[in-house]
């Protein structure tokens, strides 16, 4: 999801004219090269279930949103497995 969010942000900045095409391509290329160092976890039912639990627990008080809950749910599951 972070990959999609970052790419979306870059293209939004391009549409808003705060990035030109060269800077957009440079940022996209650099980010893709950096992705090899990311720990990418698949989106699966366990992550969705964890995200739902987090939304129910923190959604009213903290305004936790869907994408944030999915990322937090993924990290929560990874930390339970000893991955960080």
Instruction: Note down pLDDT in tens along the chain; length 84 residues.
Output: 788 889 999 999 999 999 999 999 999 999 999 999 988 888 899 999 999 999 999 989 998 999 999 999 999 998 886 665
Please check whether residue 51 is in contact with residue 18, taking contact to mean a CB–CB distance below 8 angstroms: no
The answer for residues whose C-beta is within 8 angstroms of residue 74's C-beta and 6 or more apart is 1, 41, 43, 47, 50
Q: Which residues contact 35 (CB under 8 A, 6 or more apart)?
A: 3
- CA 25 to CA 36: how far, in whole Å? 18
State residue 3's pLDDT score: 86
Tokens of 82: 């000893």
* pTM of the full structure: 0.67
């Amino acid at each position: 999801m972070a990959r999609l969010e970052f790419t979306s942000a870059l293209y939004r900045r391009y549409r808003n004219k705060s990035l030109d095409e060269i800077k957009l391509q440079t940022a996209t290329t650099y980010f893709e090269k950096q992705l090899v160092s990311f720990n990418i976890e698949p989106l699966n039912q366990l992550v969705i279930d964890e995200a739902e639990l987090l939304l129910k627990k923190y959604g009213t008080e903290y305004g936790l949103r869907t994408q944030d809950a999915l990322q937090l749910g993924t990290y929560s599951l990874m930390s339970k497995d000893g991955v960080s």
